[in-house]
Structure 1
Amino acid sequence: MPDSRTANAPKPAVEPTPVISAKPVVLAAPGRGEDLQVRVSAPATGTDLPVIVFSHGFGWSMDGYAPLADHWAAHGFVVVQPTHLDSRTLGIPADDPRTPRFWRIRIEDLTRALDGLDVLEAAVPGLAGRVDHDRIAVAGHSWGAQTASTLLGARVLGADGFPGEDMSDPRVKAGVLFALTGLGDDLTPFALEHLPFMRPSFDTMTPPSLIVAGDSDQSHLSTRGPDWFTDPYTYSPGSKSLLTLFGAEHSLGGIPGYEVAETTDESPARVALIQQLTTAFLHSALSPEGTGWKTAAAALDDDPNPLGTLQSK
C-alpha cells in the first residue's frame, strides 16, 4: 500500500536536470555592515534560463528552502538565494542598531542581487551566457514574501495611512508569494508596536503572481483567521492566482526544508503539489506562449481528492 502522505503527489511533467550551484557568492554591500552572501543554483544544461530571486523567511538563509530551490533549478530556472541580516547564521543580536531597518535592507538585498546578476552568473561554472536577464521573477515565504512583494509593487502604509515609497523593480515580471501576510487592519498589539512595516497596500502590485496560502495558517500577528493570507489576492489588481491548501499551516507542508523543526504540518504530497504548480506558473508567466500552467491548473481541478483549490482573476 502506498504511503498516504505521498499517494496523491503529482508526477513531474518533465524529467529534472542535474543541478549545479555555488555558495557563498559574495556581493559587496557598502553601508550594510555585512557583504551580501548568495547561493546560486542552475540546471547543468540549457540556455535562455529564466531567473527566480528568492527571499527566505525570518531566521533562514541561502541554505534553506531546498524543496523549492532544488526543484526549480532542476526544471529550468536559475535560483538566486540571498542571506538576509536576520539569518540565524549571522548571529546579529536583536539590539543591533540596524534591526529596525532589516525590512528595508531585505528589499535592498533583492535589488542588489538583481544588480549583481552578471557576477552571480559568472560564479557558477558553465553558467555564463546561459541566463535570460529579461525573464526574472521573485518569490518568498512569510517575511520573505513581504520582501518580494515590494519588488512587485506592494507598498507599506505610513502612520498617516498613505502608501510609502514605491520600491517596485521593472526587471521583475512575475512572482510567487508563500504565506504572505495580509492587510494591517487587524494586527495584534505586539505587531502594531514592533512591526510597523506590516501595513501593506496591494493596490499597485500589478505583475502576474501566484499567492499560496494555507487554510489552517493561524498567525499570532493578526486577530483574523487564516483568510488573512488571502488578502494579497483579494486586494491586488491584474492577473493573480490563489492556491489555498487544505490543512496547511505556515510552512505549507514543509517548504523551508525537509524534516525541519518549524514544520508543524509535514506533508510531502503538499510540497510536491507546490513544486509542480509553482514551476508551471513561473514558466508560463515568464513565457506567455507556454501552456503548462493551464494544464497543471486543470489537473488540480479534475483531481477527485485535491490537496487544495485554485482560483484566478
Structure 2
Amino acid sequence: MKLWTLLGLATVTALLPVTAQCETEVAVELLRFEPKDEKRDREVPIKVYWNGEPEPKPVVLFSHGLGGSRENNAYLGEHWASAGYVAVFMQHAGSDEKVWKTARPLQRMAALKSAASLQSSQDRIKDVSFVIDQLTAWNEKASHPLHNRMDLEHIGMSGHSFGAVTTLAVAGQKLPLNRSFEEERIDAFVAFSPQPGKGLPADRGFGHLVKPMLCMTGTEDASPIDPSFDPAKRREVYAALPKGDKYELVLDGAEHSAFGDNRGLRSRNRNPKHHPAIQQVSLRFWDAYLKGDDSAKQWLQSNRPLSETGLGDVDVWSWK
C-alpha cells in the first residue's frame, strides 16, 4: 500500500499554477512565503490564496495533518479565497512531509508516530501565533503584496487531523495541569477530524469554549497511526462543547482521507458528494462568523446543510 494511501495526509500533487480558477470562476492568486521566527530560529512556510481584490478580507488559517504540507487541502484554499477570504495555509517543520520523505521506507510509520509528539504540538501552537504576528506586520508594510489586504479583526482557524489538534489547542482547549494555549486573536474555528486528546475527559477539555466552532468527521474516520482508535471518539469533542454557535457534520462512510485532497490520489472509496459539501458548509460557517452574515447563520441552524449540499439522511448535521 502506498504511504499516501495509508495516511490520507501527505499530498503528492504538483504545485498549482500561480493563478487557478475556482468553481465560481473567480480568479485565485497564490503567494508563497518562508517567514522565519528569529526567536525560535524556525521557518514557517506559508501558502496564501486570495482573489487579488484591493479590499481587506477576513483571514482563514489552515494547519495540515501529520506528514503534510502547505500544499494540502487546496480545494479548500481555492474555494474560500474565491468567496472573499485570504486563506493562509501553514507548514509545520518537525511534523510535515519531510518526516516521512527523509525516512527509509520501512521506517516511515515509526518516524511519523515519533513526530506526533508534545514538542510538535507546542511548535505548531507557536507557529500559529507567529504567523498572525507576521501577517500583521505585512498588512502594515506598504511594499508587501498583502499590504492592507487583510482584515485581521476577523480571523478563522482550521486544520485537519494533527491540524485539528492544533486548532483545538489555540481555541483554548484545557490540558493537564490546567494549561491552555488560547490564541485570543482568533474568532472562529473549524476542526476536520477532531479528537478529544488524552489526560482530561472531553467535558473538562472543551466544555468552556464559547467561540463558534464547526467539527467535521466521518463514520470511518480512523487514525492513520493508531489502528485501535475508534472513529466515534472524534464526536466527543462536539458533544462536550457548550451550547451556542456550535456545529457538527458527520459524513456517512467517510474515512480520514475524505477531508484531504483528491487530485492525483486514489479516490475509489471517496464519495463525490463529500468535497462539495465540506466546501459549502465550511464557507457558510466563515460567512456567518467572520463576515457577520445572518442568512448564513440561519442556513447553518437548519437542515439545509444536508438537503442543499447533496447529502442525505445517512449523514448527520447538528447544531446547538
TM-score of the two chains, using structure 1 as the length reference: 0.78
State how far apart, in whole Å, the 2-side matches of 1:247 and 1:267 are. 8
Q: Which residue of 1 aligns with 2:296?
A: 292
The residue that corresponds to 2:180 in the other structure is 166
Q: Which residue of 2 aligns with 1:111?
A: 129
Say yes or no: does 1:36 pair with 2:55. no
Percent sequence identity is 24
Matches within 5 A, 1:161-240: 162-163=177-178, 165-184=179-198, 201-219=205-223, 221=226, 223=228, 225-237=230-242, 238-240=244-246
State the partner residue of 2:161: 142
Deviation of 1:265 (Å): 3.3
The Cα of 1:29 is off from its aligned counterpart by 1.6
Which of 63, 73, 83 is equivalent to 2:81?
A: 73
Q: What are the superposed Cα offsets for residues 21-80 of structure 1, whole Å, 9 maximum, x if unpaired?
A: 211x12222354532111111112252311011100001111111111111111111011
Q: Secondary structure at the match of 1:281?
A: helix
User: In 1, Cα distance between the equivalents of 2:45 and 2:166?
Assistant: 17
Displacement of 1:114 after TM fit?
A: 0.6
1:17 maps to which of 26, 31, 35: 26
Q: Which runs of 5+ in 1 are unaligned?
A: 1-13, 187-197
Does 1:151 find its partner at 2:170? Answer: yes
Give the Å deviation of 1:295.
2.9
2:204 and 2:265 map into 1 onto residues whose CA distance is 29
Report if aligned partners of 1:244, 1:308 keep a CA contact under 8 Å in 2: yes
1:115 Cα deviation after fit: 0.8
Partner of 1:246, secondary structure, is strand
Deviations 1:205-236 (A, max 9, x none): 32101000101223363756322111110112
In 2, the alpha carbon distance for the partners of 1:156 and 1:43 equals: 38
**What TM-score comes out, normalization by structure 2 length?**
0.77
For 1:105-164, what per-residue CA distance to the aligned partner results, in whole angstroms no more than 9, with x for missing partners?
A: 01111111011113455699754212111000100000000101111111322xxxx43x
Q: Once the 2 structures are TM-superposed, how far is the Cα of residue 281 of structure 1 from its aligned partner? A: 0.8
SS of the residue 1:201 aligns to:
helix
The answer for the alignment partner of 1:247 in structure 2 is 253
Quote the Cα distance in structure 1 between the aligned partners of 2:197 and 2:119: 20
Q: Take 2:199 and 2:283, find their aligned partners in 1: how far apart are those partners?
A: 33
**Residue 239 of structure 1: CA displacement?**
2.3
Alpha-carbon contact 1:175-1:210 (below 8 Å) kept: yes
Cα distance in 2 for residues equivalent to 1:80 and 1:301: 28
